[in-house]
């Protein structure tokens, strides 16, 4: 304990300021896309249209094709929008709330709930909270949500209208949903509400930094089951080119797309086609995306290896963590009750982490054990220091607890 305390005090004295709070691309990652600037070289005609003008509500055909290749979808069912897939998610849920999907608008019902696999993406939960949608958490078990629990809930609770899914390199666990899980998710509308919506946020569809399991095609499976109208797929180039400066996509059946556009087009009737054309010219097609992702992977992989190396230095039984094959996060679990202490110790030592509970609805991690580690943004040198602090704080929090108890 004394040694650990000394080590901690000397780390504090270094006055570090390190930010591991969000899964942002590093400047080096962003540099790989700087060719986007100026790539059009004055040519504003793409797919036969003047991209500077209004029009093309569903996006440029060539951008929709790019989105289809990114998300493993048919082009005809893809909408290419402006920069944020979260905007599309929020608007789709708003469309359901205000207009419904053939049945009553959700707002007219007594209670609406959505299943939230945990730990999950905080901004999914923030959307629900803002819109007054109740969240029901279900654990993720390594290859997607625990489907026995999900199916039981959906069969027995009429207020449940949907489920959030981040099926590949899930934020923050990194897991990839199994084929069986994808099938059972696509089947949920058949055992639950007829307007049940699967919110399939495939944000990390091509973000592998080492060999990864293949994700089954939700389009194919749901078309076979006749539930394609109930699947909304989302994705973007935010973690591929410029975060906040890319293209976002929605994949939806004709029926779902017209429901969405009937609502969304009142607020945005013309996407940023100039940026779409830039991306088409830069990424070109699936092969181009994959080649670009390889360059990103070369920058990202060493950071995940470094995180794993430091976590492996922890005494056995002190913690568990995920070992993703792609994506942007590692999900760390301390012994129950210790996460907020670790968070506070790290903060005092200059390491900022995502607030405890963020990966849970209403920011409540009842176990007080989950910490999301987001290693992409910082440099390798900063990450090395961050992990020295983190590992020291994990050990110290445990020692402090033992000393309190004994
Ligand atoms: C699972 C997930 N979905 C969506 C987003 C954000 O996407 P966008 O920038 O397209 O709004 C993120 C960003 O971290 C994410 O992790």
Domain boundaries, the chain: 2-23+289-405, 40-283
User: Tokens 């639950």 identify what position?
Assistant: 192
N-to-C CA span, the chain: 13
Q: Provide the whole-model pTM.
A: 0.97
Q: For residue 35, how far is its CA from the centre of ligand 1 (angstroms)?
A: 23
Q: For residue 194, how far is its CA from the centre of ligand 1 (angstroms)?
A: 27
Q: Using CA atoms of 243, 30, 375, 85 in order, give the dihedral in degrees to the nearest 10.
A: 20
Q: In the CATH scheme, what is the code of domain 2-23+289-405?
A: 3.90.1150.10
Provide the pLDDT for residue 186.
98
Provide the pLDDT for residue 104.
86
Residue to probe by mutation, ligand 1, list 20, 29, 86, most atoms within 8 Å of CB: 86
For residue 201 and ligand 1, the question of a CB distance below 6 A is answered with yes
For residue 170 and ligand 1, the question of a CB distance below 6 A is answered with no
State the Cα angle at 191 between 188 and 193, rounded to 5°: 85
Choosing among 3.40.640.10, 3.40.50.300, 3.40.50.2300, 3.30.565.10, the CATH entry for 40-283 is 3.40.640.10
For residue 81 and ligand 1, the question of a CB distance below 6 A is answered with no
Provide the pLDDT for residue 403.
86
Structure tokens at 274: 């100039």
Segments in the chain below pLDDT 70: 1, 405-406
For residue 91 and ligand 1, the question of a CB distance below 6 A is answered with no
């Amino acid at each position: 304990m004394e040694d650990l305390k000394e080590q901690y005090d000397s780390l504090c004295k270094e006055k570090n300021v390190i930010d591991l709070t969000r899964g942002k691309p590093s400047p080096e990652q962003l540099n790989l896309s700087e060719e986007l600037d100026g790539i059009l070289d004055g040519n504003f005609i793409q797919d036969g249209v003047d991209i500077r003008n209004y029009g093309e509500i569903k996006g440029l055909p060539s951008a929709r094709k790019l989105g289809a290749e990114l998300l493993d979808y048919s082009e005809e069912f893809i909408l290419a929008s402006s920069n944020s897939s979260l905007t599309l998610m929020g608007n789709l849920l708003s469309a359901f709330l205000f207009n419904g999907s053939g049945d009553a608008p959700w707002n007219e019902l007594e209670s609406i709930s959505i299943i939230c696999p945990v730990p999950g993406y905080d901004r999914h939960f923030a959307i629900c909270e803002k819109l007054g949608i109740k969240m029901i958490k279900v654990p993720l078990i390594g290859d997607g949500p625990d489907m026995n629990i999900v199916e039981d809930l959906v069969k027995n609770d009429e207020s449940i209208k949907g489920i959030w899914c981040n099926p590949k390199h899930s934020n923050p666990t990194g897991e990839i949903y199994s084929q069986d899980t994808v099938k059972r998710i696509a089947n949920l509308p058949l055992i639950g509400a007829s307007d049940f919506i699967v919110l399939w946020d495939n944000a990390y569809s091509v973000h592998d930094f080492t060999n990864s399991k293949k994700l089954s095609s939700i389009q194919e499976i749901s078309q076979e089951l006749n539930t394609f109208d109930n699947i909304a797929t989302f994705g973007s180039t935010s973690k591929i080119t410029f975060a906040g400066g890319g293209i976002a996509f929605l994949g939806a059946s004709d029926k779902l797309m017209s429901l969405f556009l009937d609502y969304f087009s009142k607020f945005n009737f013309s996407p940023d086609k100039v940026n779409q054309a830039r991306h088409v010219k830069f990424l070109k097609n699936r092969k181009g995306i994959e080649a670009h992702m390889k360059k990103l992977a070369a920058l990202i992989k060493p950071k995940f290896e470094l995180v794993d190396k430091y976590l492996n230095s922890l005494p056995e039984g002190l913690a568990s963590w995920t070992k993703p094959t792609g994506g942007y996060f590692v999900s760390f679990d301390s012994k129950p009750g210790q996460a907020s202490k670790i968070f506070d110790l790290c903060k005092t030592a200059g390491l900022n982490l995502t607030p405890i509970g963020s990966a849970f609805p209403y920011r409540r991690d009842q176990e007080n054990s989950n910490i999301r580690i987001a290693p992409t943004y910082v440099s390798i040198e900063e990450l090395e220091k961050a992990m020295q602090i983190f590992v020291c704080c994990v050990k110290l929090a445990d020692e402090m607890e033992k000393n309190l108890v004994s």
